[in-house]
Structure 1
Amino acid sequence: MESNLEKKQRVNLLMDCYEELLTDKQKEYLMLYYEEDFSLAEIAEDLDVSRNAVYDNLKRAVASLEDYEKKLHLLEKHIQRMDLIQRIEAEQETSREELNDYLEMLKKI
């Protein structure tokens, strides 16, 4: 089960990938909740809406982000690239053949 911190990190990463595909309203709700760390009540007060409206809008916005990721896989590919880069950096004595293998993997991503 995903912790609150893990969910927050995932949503922030998804926002980095897909923010431009969201509506201004979705961006605002997500930014206030996940980046500015406002509570549902604080957002409701700031935007003059109900707490339930905030919850529903956040839920729909996160679902949109997850749907984009399911279709486009940008975050998954980014994580794969970063993993390969870390493996290359960690291995001081990586053979030329291994480096070429890693480069081929990166090209496929």
Structure 2
Amino acid sequence: MHGENALEKTNRINVLFDFYGSLLTEKQQMFLKCYYHDDYSLSEIADDFDISRQAVYEHLKRSEQILEDYEKKLGLAARHERLRAGLMRLEQQIGELPDPWREKLRSTADLIRGAEAGYTPEGAAGN
């Protein structure tokens, strides 16, 4: 992989891995981590696992396709990106409001962010 497309692909696979990595086999997870997170070459992975470069390549391609299939069916990464973009826009709009309105709206934005992250800030349920 070279250039900007390589960076985009690496970022995409890392995002998908964050959402769906635990659904992969241990071997698939290991190969993806080595290649995309730790920046190992195909040869380095092949040497570490005592298999051919072609076998590593095929494992990676299959794992990438599985991640893409999960995203196509579940859409969690796309949903996350839409929520993130919406929150950024909301925060920008909150910043343009008069001071008295900002605190409550920022609290609501934090509540949404927390829900996306999987937790609820204390006391947020009553707001």
Task: Give the TM-score category using the shorter length.
Answer: 0.7 to 0.9
- Give the TM-score of the pair, scaled to structure 2: 0.72
Match of 1:93 among 86, 96, 102: 96
Give the direction of change, closer, same or farther, for the CA distance of 1:94–1:67 in structure 2 (3 Å limit).
farther
For 2:90 and 2:21, how far apart are their aligned partners in 1?
Answer: 30
| Correspondence 1:1-109 to 2 at 5 A | 3-91=5-93, 92-93=95-96
1:81, distance to aligned residue in structure 2 (A) = 0.3
Letter aligned with residue 24 of structure 1: E
Greater relative CO, 1 or 2 (CA 8 Å, sep 6+):
1
Q: Could you say which structure has the larger radius of gyration?
A: 2
Alpha-carbon RMSD across the aligned residues, in angstroms, is 1.9
Q: Displacement, 1:94?
A: 5.2
Structure 2's unaligned 5+ residue stretches are 113-127
Which segment drifts farther, 57-66 or 83-92? 83-92
Query: Structure 1-normalised TM-score?
Result: 0.83
Identity of aligned residues (%): 48
Paired residues in the alignment total 98
Q: CA deviation at 1:88?
A: 1.1
AA of the residue aligned to 1:57: H
Partner SS for 2:90:
helix
